């Protein structure tokens, strides 16, 4: 363990109450900003994977698994599957989200202590970081840090961040174990902390040479039209059109969030010149890894859509670059403040940056581009330049201060407006009224975490205050946890039945045999999580089609067929014309056709007897199948 790591360990031992208050406050802010909203978004996908793990034969014919799935490559699948089997999907999902939030708090705390120490900047990094849900998507902001639904990502990301923190502290073996765990939980995310550890002992010159290899390989293979080897083919035809139109698989011209991906790299490059000396190699290596990954993603998006690159989605490296670069920026400011002969300079610069953030200048793509250019230019300036600039600023201190005050006079009204806007974005409310107060505790507003970080530093000096803060925070967290589930009663009741071993069977279950396929467009989750059998086609099943052309073609065929009849109740039974369909569920019974079972809002029809009906009865069908 490095001397710096020993110093941090001793610090935590001497001030355990202060450490506990930071962790509890961070967890409280995470709870306030990430209320539980149920099994939605990708939580449905991981619920389906858990259902397949519990009922492998019954769901083997489902389109999601028929051609293989990414769930088979993740350690998360058996762990989550075992939890779901014992607890049911509802309880297991909440447990995963809650534990993921706690892990994320611990990971950011460890990274901040490793990079910034027990300082105002370090406490602010933790408290602000747990509030944010920053997107690392290429286009549509689908993927974010700090998710509030159950996926493998909520465990994999904290493991990766913890691995980086341990690497900084010199605990390489433990760091390698956590990085490997992150990779096993989610390969597309965990590969990046694992890569960072793999190159940790390589010289930067050698790493720079090696970084050119994958890009050159993609350019060479792409220029010859790809190779007839799995992974080295170029995606084309209908699959390429789907990939280009999908929200977040590759960068899309005119819609991409490329500036948001480049900004962390610019900050990392600045850190290699102006950050703490012991952190500069880390910044340089992550900058090279992230730069190559984004370059590969751009080449695959605009020139050569090589299978292995498109499927690997290298733009995901930004998930790791974001938290590290955020703390790198604080590290640069902290380092400059310690080294500058003029103490006024860095606080003035921080005030300027916060004013620009409050005005929204750096939240737009062009603002990020401009700031990135400034940061990149600053990274190539000699250290003496910053000292001279600080001296000039000191000379014109009064004018600089007046200018900063004037800028804040313009920014403050916008800060209040932003508080109200962010507060109104909550899907529910923790308390009635006071929208701006909701905005104050919401992610994206830096004011509260900065004040709290300063307040905790002050409380830590008092022997009684820190233990008292821990007790109070513990009580507030208990109350918040009781209100953390924001689902309505109907949603809570429905999800409580999903994959619940103690729930009563669905009335349709007595007619449906395992491995049979049901077409119930409105209730695909009910088919999987209550009836425990295969669904014909739906929104969720197209996820992962980029990994299998056969799966894509079959999903496309079924989806096109379904779209012809889904909004025509009198023709939906035509789905029985597809031999893979065993049952069709209608919103209401069909006159003249006997239903096997009828429930409010659902009528079950068996396809085998319907397929035996003469095609003469379906004369005039535009689908070429019985219309009944």
Predicted confidence (pLDDT) per residue in 381-407, tens digit: 776 777 677 777 777 888 888 988 998
Q: Is 444 left (phi over 0), alpha (psi -120 to 50) or beta?
A: left
Whether 156 contacts 185, CB under 8 Å: yes
pLDDT, residue 71, reads: 79
pLDDT over 70 at 4, yes or no: no
pLDDT over 80 at 327, yes or no: yes
Q: How far apart are CA 24 and CA 471, in angstroms?
A: 10
279-298 pLDDT, tens per residue?
A: 999 999 999 999 999 999 99
Q: How far apart are CA 280 and CA 4, in angstroms?
A: 15
pLDDT over 60 at 7, yes or no: no
Q: How far apart are CA 103 and CA 163, in angstroms?
A: 12
* C-alpha torsion angle, residues 302, 227, 317, 425 (rounded to 10): 50
Mean local confidence (pLDDT), 607-628: 56
pLDDT over 60 at 3, yes or no: no
Q: Is 253 helix (H, G, I), strand (E, B) or coil?
A: coil
Q: What is the separation of C-alpha 334 from the centre of its chain, rounded to a whole number of angstroms?
A: 29
128-131, long-range: CB < 8 A, 24+ apart: 128/446, 128/449, 128/450, 129/323, 129/326, 130/26, 130/27, 130/29, 130/30, 130/33, 130/104, 130/105, 131/29, 131/30, 131/32, 131/33, 131/441, 131/442, 131/443, 131/444, 131/445, 131/449
Measured between alpha carbons, how far is residue 341 from residues 337, 344, 401 in Å?
8, 9, 18
Q: Is 214 helix (H, G, I), strand (E, B) or coil?
A: helix
Question: Could you tell me which residue, 611 or 490, shows the higher pLDDT?
Answer: 490
pLDDT, residue 623, reads: 43
Which residues does 120 contact at the CB level (< 8 Å), separation at least 6? 453, 454, 457
Sign of the Cα torsion 114, 120, 125, 126 reads positive
Mean local confidence (pLDDT), 312-333: 95
Classify residue 62 by burial, with Cβ atoms within 10 Å: 0-12, 13-18, 19+.
buried
pLDDT, residue 236, reads: 94
pLDDT over 80 at 601, yes or no: yes
The β-bridge partners of 604 are 585, 597
Mean local confidence (pLDDT), 96-123: 96
Q: How far apart are CA 178 and CA 180, in angstroms?
A: 5
pLDDT, residue 363, reads: 66
Q: What is the separation of C-alpha 263 from the centre of its chain, rounded to a whole number of angstroms?
A: 18
Look at 188-197, 451-460, 611-620 and tell me which has the smallest mean pLDDT.
611-620
Return the DSSP state at 234. B
Q: Is 398 helix (H, G, I), strand (E, B) or coil?
A: helix
pLDDT over 70 at 426, yes or no: no
Written as one string, the DSSP assignment of 494-511 is: HHHTTT-TTSPPPGGGGT
pLDDT over 90 at 358, yes or no: no
Question: Could you tell me which residue, 382 or 526, shows the higher pLDDT?
Answer: 526
* C-alpha torsion angle, residues 166, 127, 325, 348 (rounded to 10): -130
Mean local confidence (pLDDT), 240-258: 90
pLDDT, residue 356, reads: 82
pLDDT over 50 at 619, yes or no: no
Six-digit token pair at 34?
């990430």
The whole-chain average pLDDT of the chain stands at 87
pLDDT, residue 360, reads: 74
pLDDT, residue 381, reads: 76
Say if pTM beats, i.e. exceeds, 0.95.
no
Q: How far apart are CA 205 and CA 202, in angstroms?
A: 8
pLDDT, residue 428, reads: 65
pLDDT over 50 at 148, yes or no: yes
446-456 pLDDT, tens per residue?
A: 888 998 998 88
Whether 126 contacts 140, CB under 8 Å: no
Which residues does 124 contact at the CB level (< 8 Å), separation at least 6? 330, 449, 450, 453
pLDDT, residue 238, reads: 94
Look at 16-25, 70-79, 458-467 and tell me which has the smallest mean pLDDT.
458-467
204-232 pLDDT, tens per residue?
A: 999 999 988 999 999 999 999 999 898 89
pLDDT over 80 at 302, yes or no: yes
Q: Is 614 helix (H, G, I), strand (E, B) or coil?
A: coil
CB neighbours of residue 448 within 10 Å: 18
Whether 581 contacts 606, CB under 8 Å: no
Measured between alpha carbons, how far is residue 12 from residues 19, 105, 113, 120, 435 in Å?
6, 16, 10, 15, 37
Six-digit token pair at 561?
């067929």
Q: How far apart are CA 521 and CA 536, in angstroms?
A: 8
Whether 531 contacts 512, CB under 8 Å: yes
Q: How far apart are CA 376 and CA 271, in angstroms?
A: 10
Q: What is the separation of C-alpha 165 from the centre of its chain, rounded to a whole number of angstroms?
A: 20
150-168 pLDDT, tens per residue?
A: 999 999 999 999 999 999 9
pLDDT over 60 at 362, yes or no: yes
Look at 241-250, 259-268, 558-567 and tell me which has the smallest mean pLDDT.
558-567
- Strands across the sheet with 602-606, in order? 534-535, 517-519, 583-586, 602-606, 597-599
Radius of gyration of the chain (CA): 28
* Percentage, residues of the chain above pLDDT 90: 61
């Amino acid at each position: 363990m490095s001397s710096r790591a020993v110093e941090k360990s001793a610090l935590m031992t001497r001030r355990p109450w202060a450490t506990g208050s930071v962790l509890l406050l961070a967890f409280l802010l995470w709870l306030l900003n990430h209320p539980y909203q149920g099994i939605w978004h990708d939580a449905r996908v991981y619920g389906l994977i858990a259902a397949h793990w519990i009922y492998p034969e019954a769901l083997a014919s489902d389109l999601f698994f028929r051609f293989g799935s990414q769930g088979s490559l993740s350690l998360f699948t058996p762990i989550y599957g075992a939890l779901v089997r014992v607890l049911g999907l509802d309880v297991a999902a909440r447990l995963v989200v809650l534990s993921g939030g706690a892990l994320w708090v611990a990971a950011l705390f460890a990274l901040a202590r490793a990079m910034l120490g027990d300082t105002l900047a370090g406490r602010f990094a933790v408290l602000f970081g747990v509030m944010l849900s920053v997107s690392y998507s290429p286009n549509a902001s689908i993927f974010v840090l700090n998710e509030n639904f159950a996926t493998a990502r909520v465990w994999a990301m904290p493991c990766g961040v913890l691995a980086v923190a341990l690497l900084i502290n010199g605990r390489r073996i433990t760091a390698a174990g956590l990085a490997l765990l992150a990779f096993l939980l989610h390969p597309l995310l965990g590969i990046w902390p694992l890569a960072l550890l793999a190159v940790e002992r390589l010289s930067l010159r050698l790493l720079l040479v090696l970084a050119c290899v994958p890009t050159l390989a993609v350019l060479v293979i792409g220029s010859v039209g790809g190779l007839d080897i799995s992974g080295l083919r170029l995606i084309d035809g209908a699959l390429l059109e789907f990939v280009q139109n999908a929200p977040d698989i590759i960068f899309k011209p005119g819609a991409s969030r490329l500036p948001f991906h480049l900004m962390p790299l610019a900050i990392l490059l600045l850190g290699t010149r102006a950050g703490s000396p012991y952190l500069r190699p880390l910044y340089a290596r992550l900058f090279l890894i992230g730069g190559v990954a984004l370059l590969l993603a751009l080449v695959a998006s605009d020139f050569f859509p090589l299978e292995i690159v498109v499927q690997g989605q290298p733009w995901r490296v930004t998930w790791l670059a974001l938290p590290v670069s955020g703390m790198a920026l604080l590290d640069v400011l902290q380092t400059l403040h310690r080294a500058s002969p003029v103490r006024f300079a860095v606080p003035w610069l921080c005030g300027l940056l916060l004013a620009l953030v409050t005005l929204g200048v750096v939240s737009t793509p062009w603002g990020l581009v401009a700031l990135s250019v400034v940061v990149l230019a600053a990274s190539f300036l000699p250290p003496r330049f910053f000292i001279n600039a600080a001296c000039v600023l000191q000379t014109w201190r009064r004018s600089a201060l007046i200018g900063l005050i004037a800028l804040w006079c313009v920014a403050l009204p916008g800060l209040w407006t932003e508080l109200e806007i962010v507060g109104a974005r909550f899907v529910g409310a923790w308390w009635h009224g006071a929208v701006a107060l909701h905005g104050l505790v919401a992610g994206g507003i830096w004011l509260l975490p900065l004040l709290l970080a300063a307040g905790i530093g002050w409380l830590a000096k008092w022997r009684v205050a820190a233990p008292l803060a821990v007790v109070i925070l513990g009580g507030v967290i208990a109350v918040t946890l009781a209100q953390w589930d924001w689902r309505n009663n109907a949603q809570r009741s429905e999800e409580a039945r999903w994959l619940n071993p103690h729930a009563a069977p669905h009335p349709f279950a007595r007619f449906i045999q395992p491995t049979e396929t049901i077409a119930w467009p409105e209730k695909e989750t009910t088919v999987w999580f209550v009836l425990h059998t295969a669904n014909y086609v739906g929104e969720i099943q197209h996820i992962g089609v980029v990994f299998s052309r056969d799966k894509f073609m079959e999903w496309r065929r079924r989806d096109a067929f379904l779209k012809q009849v889904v909004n025509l109740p009198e023709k939906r039974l035509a789905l029985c014309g597809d031999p893979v369909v065993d049952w069709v569920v209608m919103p209401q019974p069909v006159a003249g056709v006997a239903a096997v079972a009828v429930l409010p809002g659902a009528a079950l029809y068996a396809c085998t007897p319907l397929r035996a009906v003469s095609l003469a009865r379906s004369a005039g069908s535009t689908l070429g199948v019985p219309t009944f």
